[in-house]
Amino acid sequence: MSSEPVNVNEFQELAKQVLPKMYYDFYNGGAEDQFTLRENVEAFRRIMLRPRVLVDVSRIDMSTTILSNSSTCTVEEVASSCNAVRFFQLYICKRRDISAQIVRRAEKNGYKAIVLTVDSPRLGRREADIKNKMISPKLRNFEGLISTELLETDKGSNLEAFARASHDDSLCWEDVVGWLKSITNLPILMKGILTHEDARKAVEVGVAGIVVSNHGARQLDYTPASISVLEEVVQAVGGKVPVLFDGGIRRGTDVFKALALGAQAVLVGRPVIFGLAADGEYGVRKVMKMLKDELELTMALSGCPSVQDITRSHVTTECDRLRSQL
List, by residue number, the catalytic residues: 215
Question: Cα separation of 146 and 27, whole Å?
Answer: 24
Q: Which residues, in sequence order, are bridge partners of residue 211? A: 191, 244
Category of 78 on φ-ψ map: left (φ > 0), alpha (ψ -120 to 50) or beta: alpha
Q: Give CA torsion, residues 79, 83, 89, 94, to 10 deg.
A: 20
- Are the C-beta atoms of 314 and 256 separated by less than 8 Å? yes
**Half-sphere CA count of 148, side-chain side, radius 13 A:** 9
Taking the C-alpha atoms of residue 283 and residue 273, their distance in angstroms, rounded to an integer, is: 9
Q: Which three-class secondary structure state does DSSP give residue 95? A: coil
Q: Are the CB atoms for 189 and 265 separated by under 8 Å?
A: no
Let me know the angle formed at the C-alpha of 297 by 294 and 302, rounded to the nearest 5 degrees: 125
- The Cα 307–Cα 260 span in angstroms is 9
Distances (CA, A) of 307 to 155, 207, 269, 297, 300: 49, 25, 21, 12, 11
